[in-house]
Amino acid sequence: MSRSLLYFAPGSGLGHLTRAVALCIELRELGFEPEIATNSPFAQAVARMVRLRVTRLATRSWAVDAPRLLAERAPRVAVADTFPQGFRGEWKLRPETPMVHMARRLRLESYDAPPDAWRGFALTVAIEPLAPEHDARLSGELVRVPGRVRLAPGRIATPPPAPLVGALDEGAALVVHSGPPAEVERLMACARGLRVVAITTAAGLSAPVFDYFPAANLYRRARNIFTGAGYNSMADTMHLRSRHTAIAFHRRFDDQHGRLAVVAGESGIDSTRAAAEALASVAL
């Protein structure tokens, strides 16, 4: 019997894709054949690093291409990351394939989905504490993992640039952010007075800039870490809170302010394997 799983991770950056990779590595070790569908421009580069099957779909045709790919692959189970109706409404009509919803914090005022959008899943996995009004919308079988999903250091063992490692070992602070330059500058301002190196796509900074993935491989080397309050940044630094400064940036759908408000009370448990096992239970 096929043990295939198709994980839909829409997003134009690395956030959803990285979380999908973390889970699919675990699923592969559990004996599954996972595939990731994404519209991220980093899809193929990440696929080469982790030797997972990653299919890139165009953003403009995602609503048509995602259901078509699901029909073609016919996996045992499909996964909808974050958005219960999908990125472009592609799951408003539930497919026959059992589908799992990976639930993280959402700004519900922006993601205005009807009550039945949260129903009809074989399983919902809550991968962080949700706002009460979000929790109230979930229905059916639900698993709450005790911590967060993360791509653990060393899972992708890419060698970092020697100058970056040298600077961190000499005490430089690390700024990590793939958002707009203005947001990177805000993080740089938080690190004022410190020697800083940055992993970012922004240019023209007053600090050395490096292109390196995954940044979590280097966090333990840094005495001070400055990031946004996105899901992955908070998951990657959960064991390093005393070194970590986060800014909650405004996002259309991601509730960074709510996440930052509750993260201090979290357990710090790496729940990647627990979340993968929950997915596997549906696919068996």
Per residue in 72-116, pLDDT tens? 999 999 999 999 999 999 999 999 999 999 999 999 999 989 989
* Surface-to-core class of residue 209, CB atoms within 10 Å of its CB (0-12 exposed, 13-18 middle, 19+ buried): middle
Question: Of 35-39, 41-45, 69-73, 142-146, where does mean pLDDT reach its minimum?
Answer: 41-45
pLDDT score recorded for residue 179: 86
Opening angle at CA 236, ends 99 and 82, nearest 5: 25
pLDDT tens digits for range 213-268? 999 999 999 999 999 999 999 999 999 999 999 999 999 999 999 999 998 878 78
What is the arithmetic mean of pLDDT over 48-57? 93
CB 108 within 8 A of CB 133: yes
Q: Is the pLDDT at 135 greater than 70, yes or no?
A: yes
Pair of tokens at residue 245: 């400064």
Instruction: Tell me: pLDDT of 32 over 90.
Output: yes
Collect all residues with Cβ–Cβ distance below 8 Å to 5 and sequence separation of at least 6.
24, 27, 32, 33, 34, 35, 75, 76, 77, 78, 79, 279, 283
Domain residue limits, the chain: 4-147+269-283, 162-265
Q: What is 162-265's CATH number, 3.90.1300.10, 3.40.50.2000, 2.40.110.10, 3.40.50.11030? A: 3.40.50.2000
Cα–Cα distance, 21 to 243 (Å, whole number): 26
Q: What percent of the chain has pLDDT over 90?
A: 86
pLDDT of residue 148 exceeding 50: yes
Mean pLDDT of 12-35: 94
What's 4-147+269-283's CATH class? alpha beta
Q: Look up tokens 């198709």; give the residue.
A: 6
Closest CA to 51 of 34, 37, 69: 34
Fold equal for 4-147+269-283 and 162-265: yes
1 band by pLDDT with thresholds 50, 70 and 90: very low
Instruction: Report yes or no: 128 and 104 within 8 Å, Cβ to Cβ.
Output: yes
pLDDT in tens, 155-185: 999 999 999 999 999 999 999 998 899 999 9
pLDDT of amino acid 2:
66
Residue ranges of E strands in 149-258: 173-177, 196-200, 209-210, 225-228, 244-247
- CA–CA separation, 223 and 240 (whole Å): 10
Judge contact between 121 and 100, C-beta under 8 A.
Answer: yes
Average model confidence (pLDDT) across the chain: 94
pTM (two decimals): 0.94
